[in-house]
Amino acid sequence: MPDNPSLIERCEVRERLFEGHFLQAWRDTVRLPDGSQATREYLVHPGAVVIVPLLEGSDGHYRVVLERQFRYPVGQVMIELPAGKLDAGEDPLPCARRELLEETGYSAAQWARAGQMHLAIAYSTEVIHIYFARGLTAGQRQLDAGEFLEVFTATPEELMTWCRQGQVTDAKTLACALWLHNVLSGAWPLDWQVSPSTDTP
């Protein structure tokens, strides 16, 4: 349905609030639906990917590849799915392949795009593209300098229990758990594609 015009805000002035090494912030002066003015401060983010990597166990059931990573802003080691930012000009699927390999060492024979999420709509432009990966082959991970994380696997049931009990509180991982639950139940079937990277010698 078309957006209600009585909700829309329009930019009138745009000024850079600051440019950090990592964060880029803007402050816009906007015209509100009632004609009054307000300011909106927000981060500009290049976009990101998150991957739900499914490892076929010897019992025929899937295990999910997860990470433990210290996240400085929240001061905790977080359980989360592999994820990472888009490089300049990078498409989401190549980014997903790159991040999965770099962080976990896995390459996937099949990929499926599930959807996308907007992470922090009050103050960030960030959109995260959600991918599922299966047919995993283990290899050597290639962490960035200054990147420290542990890779481990869990059953989908374990992941759901951790979401319920509070061991998993990362919003992108919780959102992907909704996808995982519905994909595994058959309610939300995916359109799996053979990865082009596996076609080359």
- CB 103 within 8 Å of CB 50: no
Residues that bind its own copies in the complex, under the rule CB under 8 A: 3-4, 6-9, 17-18, 20-23, 25, 27-28, 30, 32-34, 36, 38-43, 68-74, 76-78, 80, 115-128, 146, 148-150, 160, 163-164, 166, 169-172, 174-175, 177-178, 181-182, 188
Give the shortest CB-142-to-its own copies separation in angstroms.
Answer: 16
**Least Å from the CB of residue 153 to its own copies:** 15
Structure tokens at 52: 């739900």
Task: Using the minimum distance from each CB to its own copies, give the nearer residue, 73 or 201.
Answer: 73
Q: How far is the CB of 199 from its own copies (least distance, A)?
A: 29
Strand 127-137 with 48-56, pairing: parallel
Output the smallest distance, CB 52 to its own copies, in A: 13
**In angstroms, how far is the first alpha carbon of the chain from the final one?**
47
CB 197 within 8 A of CB 106: no
Pick between residue 77 and residue 138 the one whose CB is nearest to its own copies.
77
188 to 56, 127, 184: CA distances (angstroms): 19, 21, 8
Pair 61, 149: CB distance under 8 Å: no
What is the number of other CB atoms lying within 10 angstroms of the CB of residue 38?
A: 10
Query: To the nearest whole angstrom, how small is the minimum distance from the Cβ of residue 31 to its own copies?
Result: 11
Smaller CB separation from its own copies, 8 or 194: 8
